[in-house]
Structure 1
Amino acid sequence: MTERYWLTKEKQLKGTGMALLVNIGHDGWYKDDELAQELRRQMPEADIRTLDAPGDLADITMLAVSALAADLPAKLPNLALVQKLGAGVETIIAHPAIAPEVQVARLKPLEPAREIAQYCLAYVLHAQRNIAAHAESQTRAAWEPLAPKQNHKTRVGVLGLGHIGSQTALLMRDLGFDVLGWSRSAKEIPGVTCHHGSATLKPMLGQCDYVCAILPSTAQTRALINAESLAAIKPGATLINAGRGDLVDEAALIAALDRGTPGHAVLDVLCSEPLPASDPLWQHPKVTITPHVSGWHLGDALGDVTENFRRLGAKEPLLHLVDRQRGY
């Protein structure tokens, strides 16, 4: 890398008074200082701040955030880009305080996509290998052999065939499952039977032993898993939601579980997070809840954050921009 390049980059990132503010916005994940330190290691010439020492907020042109506080955008008069950390941008684009000219970008990292695919696989294999039944037998000191289910005789459905959903479908395919995919628009994935459009959803649900929901939250997908679609699910099937909480009508889900369609639900995302202790989902015998942990590590995505900061200063096209009208 030449000295001229470094001087140019220095001017882009420091000479114009632009700064990147890191504000995760919630507990239970990365800490602001931890993430800011990692970004500084990748781009030491950049002005990267946290709210502990924000300096002049008029310098902030880019905000890296997971959950955006209600009052923060109004404090940043020169904000040009909100970089969403983690999955889902619905709360960002719906934020009433973000001016129309402010751009929103998401991340498309490989590491958390693989983690979410592995999360889905873990719960599929949990059922395939009768893990819960063997654990229950052990509590009774009972030797009760059960035949595991065979992958090639098992059908896994994946709702959403974007960056994360395609990783999930490919992982299931490579382990020998019969994989069906569903998306709003037509997709092609080798070895996966792909369906698209609302008319194909319920017929597909009726064929699947496992349904992995990995869709974004949009006007078209909110409550997509409702009383009508739940009734179409194969009796005894397992629903795994690792997409967005509002994909599922939770009251309808409880009623459907009581009927056995589906037979079990694994929920990593909920409509309200953290899930209130009084919520009936906690105690339902056919529900497994995890605290939004299916995709954790940002991995290679941090490079996209720093690259977008550089591009913003250079007035170059940004990575993974969100269409705020479409919602993704």
Structure 2
Amino acid sequence: MTVNVLFAATESRWAEYEPPLRKEIAALGIEAHIATDIPADQVDYIVYAPNSEVQDFTTFTRAKAVLNLWAGVEAIVGNPTLHLPLCRMVDPALTQGMVEWVTGHILRLHLGMDAHINAPAGTWDPVAPPLSFDTRVTVLGLGELGAACATALAGLGFQVTGWSRSPKDIAGITCLSGDAGLEDALAVADYCVLLLPKTPATENTLNAPALALMPKGARILNPGRGPLVDDEALLDALDNGHIDHATLDVFRIEPLPSDHPYWSHPRVTVTPHIASETRAAYSSKTIAENIRRGEAGEPFLHLVDRTAGY
């Protein structure tokens, strides 16, 4: 029996995904019709990006699941017409990209690379950088991406504390949870990496009181979600010197407006939402495996908890 897979995303994404998606689904022995124009009542699976034209799911009467192309699901999880299982995107390339961005930017600051790169010719200042053994990193959010980053940083010798809303246990990481745990995690954050999902409970996680809990001279990296940070509070903390530097990849408005203070602030590094990206060759494997599982009656991978919002 042929499985009908609707690709509901932008035209450019379809051009990117069509070849690897066909390849990976066929490799699992599944006969599939994959297209962008299948009648709703004939669709078995929806490969979905929240910026697609599909917003009403009530007509997809035989569909078994919505397979999100993005790691974040905040743009779809609250859709009142969606009653199908929803799976978020997790793939090795997405995780590896985040690990590389986080470790790279922490090492840039930790080793003081900018001072040497920007130093005038002839400058000779032989001061050794600190060691990771003596440096504390807090990772807020211990999902797939946060756990991978925390583990990689611990592997480089950093003292890593991780925080999540519910208890976690990760080898080599001091894992904290709950409101009291958040305060303790921030208190030991020479570096703070934000990898929480965007939910009403996580908005402005780094507000003025939270920033005040961090050690003077702390550095912040936000490759997670823009609303996790109270922008005015962060700018105040940077201006008064309590926070030394912020490296930011995500923002409340994207692209970041050209007149935003972050662009010109000497203690801020802006990157254009490139910390991690789904890559079709890898994420197609995740999609294909979930289709196989659906056809075999097995549990889907990376199923979203609709009540938690992620």
TM-score scaled by length of structure 2: 0.89
2 CA distance for matches of 1:267 and 1:143? 31
CA distance 1:136–1:249, change in 2 (3 Å): same
CA distance 1:120–1:75, change in 2 (3 Å): closer
Say which of 71, 81, 103 aligns to 1:121: 103
CA contact (8 A) 2:5 2:43 kept: yes
Matched, 1:292 2:273: yes
- Compute the displacement of 1:264 (Å): 0.8
Q: Quick one: which amino acid aligns to residue 109 of structure 1?
A: D
- Compute the displacement of 1:312 (Å): 3.5
Say which of 56, 65, 74 aligns to 1:90: 74
Other-structure match for 2:168: 187
How many residues matched? 303
- Compute the displacement of 1:153 (Å): 0.9
2 CA distance for matches of 1:228 and 1:56? 52
Other-structure match for 1:211: 192
Alignment of 1:223-234 (within 5 A): 223-234=204-215
CA contact (8 A) 2:137 2:189 kept: yes
Matched, 1:149 2:135: no
CA distance 1:76–1:150, change in 2 (3 Å): same
CA contact (8 A) 2:91 2:278 kept: no
CA contact (8 A) 2:186 2:192 kept: yes
- Compute the displacement of 1:168 (Å): 0.9
Other-structure match for 1:47: 33
- Compute the displacement of 1:81 (Å): 2.4
- Compute the displacement of 1:255 (Å): 1.6
Root-mean-square deviation (CA, aligned residues, Å) is: 2.2
Matched, 1:59 2:42: yes
CA contact (8 A) 1:58 1:76 kept: no
Q: Residue 168 of structure 1: SS of its match in structure 2?
A: helix
Q: Residue 129 of structure 2: SS of its match in structure 1?
A: coil
2 CA distance for matches of 1:120 and 1:193? 18
Other-structure match for 1:103: 85
1 CA distance for matches of 2:11 and 2:231? 24
CA contact (8 A) 1:157 1:212 kept: yes
Greater mean alpha carbon deviation, residues 304-313 or residues 33-42: 304-313
Say which of 249, 263, 272 aligns to 1:282: 263
Say which of 110, 128, 142 aligns to 1:161: 142
Matched, 1:243 2:224: yes
- Compute the displacement of 1:104 (Å): 1.0
Matched, 1:266 2:247: yes
**How much identity, in percent, do the aligned residues show?**
36
- Compute the displacement of 1:73 (Å): 2.8
Q: Residue 48 of structure 1: SS of its match in structure 2?
A: strand
Unmatched runs of 5 consecutive residues or more in structure 2: none
Matched, 1:132 2:141: no
Can you list the C-alpha shifts for 1:146-175, whole angstroms capped at 9, x where unaligned?
321111111111111121111111111111
Q: Quick one: which amino acid aligns to residue 65 of structure 1?
A: Y
Can you list the C-alpha shifts for 1:156-211, whole angstroms capped at 9, x where unaligned?
11111121111111111111111111111222222222211111222321222111
2 CA distance for matches of 1:322 and 1:40? 25
TM-score scaled by length of structure 1: 0.84
Q: Quick one: which amino acid aligns to residue 63 of structure 1?
A: I
- Compute the displacement of 1:302 (Å): 2.2
Unmatched runs of 5 consecutive residues or more in structure 1: 1-10
- Compute the displacement of 1:95 (Å): 3.1
Other-structure match for 1:6: none
Can you list the C-alpha shifts for 1:268-303, whole angstroms capped at 9, x where unaligned?
111222222232222222111112211224454422
Matched, 1:310 2:289: no
Other-structure match for 1:326: 308
Q: Quick one: which amino acid aligns to residue 62 of structure 1?
A: Y
CA distance 1:251–1:80, change in 2 (3 Å): farther
Say which of 201, 212, 218 aligns to 1:220: 201
- Compute the displacement of 1:308 (Å): 2.1
CA distance 1:23–1:281, change in 2 (3 Å): farther
2 CA distance for matches of 1:94 and 1:273? 21
CA contact (8 A) 1:137 1:144 kept: no
CA contact (8 A) 1:242 1:268 kept: yes
CA distance 1:203–1:136, change in 2 (3 Å): same
- Compute the displacement of 1:313 (Å): 4.3
1 CA distance for matches of 2:85 and 2:5? 14
